[in-house]
Amino acid sequence: MNSAEVAEDGAPVAPTPALYVVLSNQSSKQNLGTYLRTATAFGATQVVVVGTTRFGTHGAHRAHKFVDIAHFYKFDDARAYLKSKGCAILGLCAPTAAATALSSTAAHETAFTCSTAFVVDNEAPGLSPAQRAVCDGFVHVPCHGAQATPAGLDTTVVLAIALHHFTAWAQFTPRATEATRTQGKFVLDALPAPTRDAHKATERARKRAPADEADLADALGRIFD
């Protein structure tokens, strides 16, 4: 729904907060399939990929076709874009000493207030300095009982739990299911209009602009040679 909609009593209806997932793709060898599938399952508005434009989608099971993907080369540019959308930016971290040092909040205790982007440490354990620098705060999923390893949960599981808490707060409408011969299946949304190419074209134009200006200045300088 949008801000122009009104309730039955005529009162304005607040727009539904948007959900973004921010993934790192610095090496160009990342398989983002399971992250894209998780983001799609929770109704993410968009997945923001930072780094190179090539990545794998194994494990997405075509879910990546149902979520819009934006691309940026730098985390600073991704932050500027998300802030233009009115987002709070939260980094997902493991429930370790690092989470304590970052003053991280447990996902189920996080006081969400607006559209939110979750930054995921999908390339290496722990958020990188560049990822931490763009975050407004940090969220973790606490574990209970004895743990065999410091990182008790897969990153996609942590992401899913965090997204569940956000969508519960934002009151996203649960996806309907349809009956099949073997089990219920979620009803698919319509394929979104692709905007990834438009984002890539904008990024290329932004990076090319300084070089074009330099060429123009050089050409003007030669007029009087």
Q: What is the pLDDT of residue 211?
A: 62
pLDDT of 7 > 80? The answer is no
Q: What is the pLDDT of residue 44?
A: 95
Give domain 19-194's CATH architecture: 3-Layer(aba) Sandwich (3.40)
Structure tokens at 94: 């493991």
Q: What is the pLDDT of residue 210?
A: 65
The region of weakest confidence among 24-33, 44-53, 98-107, 120-129 is 98-107
Provide the residue ranges of all domains of the chain, joining segments of one domain with +.
19-194
Higher pLDDT, 156 or 185: 156
Higher pLDDT, 142 or 107: 107
Higher pLDDT, 133 or 152: 133
Structure tokens at 214: 């330099």
Span 146-160, pLDDT tens digits: 766 665 788 999 999
Structure tokens at 210: 């300084």
CA distance 32 to 196: 15
Q: What is the pLDDT of residue 2?
A: 42
- Which 3 state secondary structure label does DSSP give 87? coil
Q: What is the pLDDT of residue 108?
A: 95
CA distance 176 to 160: 18
| Neighbour count for residue 162 (Cβ, 10 Å) | 24
Q: How confident is the model at residue 102 (pLDDT cuts 50, 70, 90)?
A: confident
Q: What is the pLDDT of residue 78?
A: 98
Q: Are 140 and 90 in contact (CB under 8 A)?
A: no
